[in-house]
Amino acid sequence: MTERGQFPEGFLWGGATAANQCEGAYNLDGRGLANVDVVPIGPDREAIITGQKKMFSFEEGYFYPAKEAIDMYHHYKEDIALFAEMGFKTYRLSIAWTRIFPKGDEAEPNEAGLAFYEDLFKECHKYGIEPLVTITHFDCPMHLIREYGGWRNRHMLDFYVNLCRTLFTRYKGLVKYWLTFNEINMILHAPFLGAGICFEEGENQEQVKYQAAHHELVASAMATKIAHEIDPENKVGCMLAAGQYYPNTAHPRDYWVAMEEDRKSYFFIDVQARGKYPNYAKKQWERKGIEIEMTAEDLDLLKNYTVDFVSFSYYASRVATGDPEVRDLTAGNVFTSIKNPYLKSSEWGWQIDPLGLRITLNAIWDRYQKPMFIVENGLGAMDTPDENGYVADDYRIAYLEAHIQAMRDAIYQDGVDLLGYTTWGCIDLVSAGTGEMNKRYGFIYVDRDNDGHGSLKRSKKKSFYWYKDVIASNSASIK
């Protein structure tokens, strides 16, 4: 019997990473070039990830942090052993598409890539850790971007289905929790990362983004269908970059804009969880002259193959206003927002709102009535290690503790159905937004800086031992 201070029995505690932010080894064992490899650190990064500036290969004068990252490709056994020492029940990771299909459109996969992940999954199971695998965490083979234009092209469905069928078949019995696309709503904000899209001068960018979104949504439904056919034990989820919008004032205009902003994100999950396009999206397309090419078969797939659970990232709530004179903005997970005067901010300007996580959990639960999984949450901060690599990161412990308390309230006071919680960047890795290493989230410090210097030595932070106690007590250690 679970006590009030604990989470439900079987709750999946763990941590999360992404291949492009931790693996490195970008050109080893047959791996091909991907969009995530050619995004440099520095002032041009934002223009590239938003598709406004093209960079299809490495160029002089730039540093590309994903090339080596933290070299988990060669350190995964050491890293998984550290996760096991913390007591992880699950480890969320992603597949590098170009390790499996280097160009993306091959008929046969790269055996070296398949073997790497098979060994990694077996290493997880050795410690009783359940892999939670994101099929596409912003990865898109550069060959598919050059030749087909990324997800704007319907041919991507065939290539993605081939990837999924290969993964579901090879890893049957090793992986049962799958996510089809990471933060699928990022297509609207970072289309080069989200869908491999670079825009041509003068084209209707909204049209391109929503057509690509349709292709990804259909691909997700096809993946769900195949996953269930290959192994009925498979559970497939969608993944949303979440964070509820608050109206800036009680003015109805602000409330309306906040609702509209929420709909821009929930649009994707409405399709993946409910099985059809919402009327508000159709009306928006009509007003903007957007015509999405779709078939009756597409709509049938969306209707019949909805996801088993809804996963999401949560870093902060957001604020919206209908007043054009209000311009006091704050940073966020690619999303800019009106600054909330009632909240403190991280060193990167991300506002900290634990109650907002409870609000977001309730909003998603009320909307979909499907089990949920928080697969990213954490605090990016500048960590200062001592001579032994130890970091007294009480600020991170305070952040995570407050968010876990909010989760517990959502479960016990509100009745939401929450499957698990994986903190983001459980080991320090490259930031997706900025490309920095100094923006650290992990329980494990990695000796590497923004310029790629460092020994890559791993060392335990204070939060490592704190999280170990949280998992061992099933959160009872948090009062």
SS (HEC) of the chain: CCCCCCCCCCCEEEEECCHHHHCCCCCCCCCCCEHHHHCCECCCHHHHHCCCCCCCCCCCCCECHHHCCCCHHHHHHHHHHHHHHHCCCEEEEECCHHHHCCCCCCCCCCHHHHHHHHHHHHHHHHCCCEEEEEEECCCCEHHHHHHHCHHHCCCHHHHHHHHHHHHHHHCCCCCCEEEEECCHHHHHCCHHHHHCCCCCCCCCHHHHHHHHHHHHHHHHHHHHHHHHHHCCCCEEEEEEEECCEEECCCCHHHHHHHHHHHHHHHHHHHHHHHCCCCHHHHHHHHHHCCCCCCCHHHHHHHHHCCCCEEEEEECCCEEECCCCCCCCEEECCCCCEECCCCCEECCCCEEECHHHHHHHHHHHHHHHCCCEEEEECCCCECCCCCCCCCCCCHHHHHHHHHHHHHHHHHHHCCCCCEEEEEEECCECCCCCCCCCCCCECCCEEECCCCCCCCCCCEEECHHHHHHHHHHHCCCCCCC
Residues 6+ apart with CB under 8 A from 116: 29, 73, 99
pLDDT at 1: 32
Taking the alpha carbons of 409, 412, 417, 420 in that order, is the dihedral positive or negative?
A: positive
pLDDT at 4: 59
pLDDT at 326: 86
12-473 folds as: TIM Barrel (3.20.20)
Query: Is residue 322 within 8 Å of 256, Cβ to Cβ?
Result: yes
Radius of gyration of the chain (CA): 21
The distance from CA 52 to its chain's CA centroid, rounded to whole angstroms, is: 22
Query: Is residue 380 within 8 Å of 21, Cβ to Cβ?
Result: no
| Token couple for 379 | 């605090």
Query: Is residue 10 within 8 Å of 420, Cβ to Cβ?
Result: no
Residues 6+ apart with CB under 8 A from 207: 290, 291
pLDDT at 327: 79
pLDDT at 469: 98
pLDDT tens, the chain, 479 aa long: 345 578 999 999 999 999 999 999 999 999 999 999 999 999 999 999 999 999 999 999 999 999 999 999 999 999 999 999 999 999 999 999 999 999 999 999 999 999 999 999 999 999 999 999 999 999 999 999 999 999 999 999 999 999 999 999 999 999 999 999 999 999 999 999 999 999 999 999 999 999 999 999 999 999 999 999 999 999 999 999 999 999 999 999 999 999 999 999 899 999 999 999 999 999 999 999 999 999 999 999 999 999 999 999 999 999 999 998 887 777 766 677 899 999 999 998 899 999 999 999 999 999 999 999 999 999 999 999 999 999 999 999 999 999 999 999 999 999 999 999 999 999 999 999 999 999 999 999 999 999 999 999 999 999 999 999 999 999 999 98
Which residues are identified as catalytic? 376
pLDDT at 330: 78
Q: d(Cα 322, Cα 331) in Å, to the nearest integer? A: 19
Q: d(Cα 354, Cα 398) in Å, to the nearest integer? A: 10
Does pTM surpass 0.95?
A: yes
* Residue from 25, 31, 28 nearest 102 by CA: 31
